[in-house]
Amino acid sequence: MIPVIKATDVETILKMVRNLTPEEKTKEVKQLVYEIQKAKKVPDDKLPQNVIQLNSYFEARFEQGGQQIAMSLVHPKIADLSNQKLSLFSPLGVALIGFKEGDRIEWSLPGGKRTIHILKVSNPECIKVN
């Protein structure tokens, strides 16, 4: 499956990456850049509302074990797992951006290869973070 990412998210993410120090360019950040390069880029108004993008709320289930999560995918500066705000630069954030409600994604996470089923996606007004 190929992720679908809206044009402004592509610009925002690439700008964030350009502003990182070499030490901050983790393997997850490099993987995110790779995913963006292969993604289908669409105008903002053409991105379906059920696709995970920056500031999306999503619910997902890990097929192995059945653990269910509910979070928002956010800019790394405002990430806070205790408030269900997942960093885009996290392994799971990289895995999910650009995929839609109903998709099942196989991804290598720190605990090993996992299958993630996206159960629900909603996209409130986007929040800009400088």
Look up the pTM and report it: 0.89
Structural domains of the chain in order of their starting residue, each with its CATH number: 4-122 (3.10.50.30)
Work out the angle at residue 85's Cα, subtended by the Cα atoms of residues 90 and 30, and round it to the nearest 5 degrees: 20
**Residue 9 CB-half CA count within 13 A:** 32
Percentage of the chain modeled with pLDDT above 90 = 86
Query: pLDDT tens digits, residue range 89-115?
Result: 999 999 999 999 999 999 888 888 999
Answer for the pair 104, 123: CB distance below 8 angstroms, yes or no. no
Which pLDDT score is estimated for 128?
43
Strand partners, 68: 61
